[in-house]
Every structure is written in structure tokens, then in C-alpha cells.
Amino acid sequence: MTAIQGEESVALTPERSASGVQRLLVYLLALAAVVGVLVLVLLIVDVDPIAAWRSMWNSTFGTKRNFGETLVRATPLLLVAVTLVPSLRAGLYNLGAPGQLASGALVATYLALHLGDVPGIVSVLVCGISAGVVGALVGAIPGWFKARFEVNEIISTIAVNFIVLSVLGWLLNGPFKGGYANLPQSEQVPPNATLPVILSDTRAHVGLFLALAFVVILWAMDRSRIGYRLRLFSANAHLARQAGIGRQRYIIGLMALGGMGAGLAGWMQVVVIDQRLYPTVAEPVGYAGLFVALLGGLNPFGCIAAAFGLGALLHGGDGLQIGANVSPEIIEVILGLILLAYACLGGWSAKHANTNTVRRSRRWTSWKRS
């Protein structure tokens, strides 16, 4: 038996090495395909690709202020993504980040406008904690339907999005509407509700440290007892039930965790970026946070790289219109190409893994029979 296992490990080593090289080649080809299609699109609309790249680079990293704006865009994306990772690992597809983000933003704005002249630390803590709690509650509702009645979480989270965003639109066109330019928006939040900056002359704020703290927490949780129980629950719900892991409790908790991150992201959107509450406060962070989690490979540190890259794209797209005379909507084309490449790579990886599994099982069967 030992000899057979030794032969198997030796025999499989070249295949594993070859598969690693193949995977790297596929990634490089996918990247080349994305770049090639993007260059072709720019040429079709009569734009110099090199000028567009320089404009994006300068508007993203060219100055200290631009770099700070990139961090501002990346922070809520990272916060949403890293709190979605545990539920995605468990096969729970929480698409409710827009509604959870909007609910957190609504509560944070209401409290910021009604707390009065309280110290800044009090206003920040009350608004932030309340936004996270409300976001968690909004996320827990579809989780409860999933755990109690087996309602598909994709359908229920999208339904909650419609409800929350519709209520937000009604409030901003009615009782919560501010008096500025007769637009559907709230009054401007007071200065004591804003977050302290971490880079002078920029809007980069301490919320980045909060997002990074969630990354460290998730990393530590992966190596703890609760992380083991989550992996067991993600791998086999029936076995987890036999081990005494409460399925309903974990489903609701994971959905609530994603909602909490989205609620905190909504709070940051209002008090740092917009300074007011708009009906479109969840765009594009809501769904983009899910993309960041996927592009990061459901890894907390991978989410940092993906959030920073996507934040750079979102902020750099604003500079394309000025620096290269390109519509900023081209960024959506880039994101679509990246996600399409990611989906193709995921499909190739799954197919390749299944092929390797079949080959290994056949080899083992032949050795066993001999």
C-alpha cells in the first residue's frame, strides 16, 4: 500500500507541475486578451490607448491627492468584499449589498443630522455602529428566510434591495428631502460626523484601518476553531449538523456579517464621499464589492489587491474624460472584460480539476486491480 502511494505521488508530480504552468499561461493569455480587446475598443472610438493609459495613471497615482482618492474609493469596496467572503465560501450568494449599504447610509445620515453639536467622536461612533447594526439586520432577514424556509437567498436579497432602495427614493423625495436645489437628496451632514483623514490634503480616512482590521480578523478566524467549523459547514452541511454545528445560526450569522460590512460602507459613503444622502448612494459599491471578493479569490489579502485595483479604475475613469476625452463609462467596459475573463478562467479551472480527478481515479483503480 505504501509503495503504491509513493508511486502515485511520484507519478502525479509532473502533472501537477504541468498544470501549474498551464494555469499561468491561461492567466497570461486572459490578461493579454483583455488588454487587446480594450485597445481595440479605444481605437474604434478614435482614442489613443497610450494617452488614455497616461491619463488614468496620472489621475490615480499622479499626485498625493489622487492617490488619496484611490484609497477613498477602495475602502468601502474592501469592507463589503471582506465581510462577504465567509458567506460566499459557504455557498451563500448575498446579492443584497446595495440595499444593506443604502439602509446603513440612511440611518447614519439621519443620526448625523439629528445628534446636534455633540463631540465628533460621539457622532462618529454612534453613526458608524448604528449603520453596521442596521445593515446586519437587513442582511439577516434574507438569511432567516433561507434558514427557516429554504428561500433562495439570491431572490430574497434582490427583493430586499428593491424594497430598501424604493423606500430611500420616497424618503428623499418627501420627508427626508433637503432644501438644496430641489433635488432628491438630504441636507449636508455636519462636520462633526466626518471621519478623520490619514493623509493631509486628501480625503483618505481612518475607515481604511477599519477595513484592514476586518481583513486581519478574517485571517485570524480562518486559523481558529470557528474558522474550522465554518470550513466544515461550507464543505458538508450534513456532516456539520452531525458535529453539532447549527445550520440556521450560521446562515443567519454569515448573511448578517455581509450586511454589517455593507452598512458600514454606506456610512462611509455619506460622511466622506458624498456628504449628503442620494438615491444612488449604493452605486457602484454595492455590487462591485461582490466582484472584489470574487476577483480576490475569496482570500482576505486577495481582496486588498482587488479592492485597490478596482478603486484605482473607478477613480481613474473620472480622469479619462478630461485627460483623454474619453467617456468615463469606458471603465464599465473594462470591468466587464475583467469579469468575463474571470468567469472563463473559473470555468477552465473547474473543468481542468474534474479532468485531473478522473485521471487520478482511473490510475488508482488500475493499480488497485493489479
Residue 27 has pLDDT above 70, yes or no: no
Within a domain: 169: yes
Q: What is the pLDDT of residues 285-330, one digit of tens each?
A: 988 999 899 888 899 999 999 899 888 888 877 777 666 677 767 7
Q: What is the pLDDT of residues 98-127, one digit of tens each?
A: 999 999 999 999 999 999 889 999 999 999
Extract the C-alpha cell encoding 208: 481604511
Give which of 166, 139, 123, 146 is closest to 270, Cα–Cα. 123
Q: What is the pLDDT of residue 26?
A: 66
Q: What global pTM score does this model have?
A: 0.85
Residues 208, 25: Cα–Cα separation, whole Å: 34
Within a domain: 63: no
Task: Find the range with the poorest average confidence among 177-191, 222-236, 348-362.
Answer: 348-362
Which residues span the domain enclosing 121? 74-300
Within a domain: 41: no
pLDDT interval class at 350 (50, 70, 90):
low
Within a domain: 78: yes
pLDDT above 70: percentage of residues in the chain: 84
Within a domain: 345: no
Q: Which residues contact 314 (CB under 8 A, 6 or more apart)?
A: 73, 284, 288, 331
Residues 196, 173: Cα–Cα separation, whole Å: 31
Provide the Cα torsion 135, 276, 81, 148; round to 10°. Answer: 20
Q: What is the pLDDT of residues 37-78, one digit of tens each?
A: 778 877 887 878 888 888 888 888 888 988 999 999 999 999
In the chain, how many domains are there?
1
Within a domain: 311: no
Within a domain: 13: no
Within a domain: 315: no
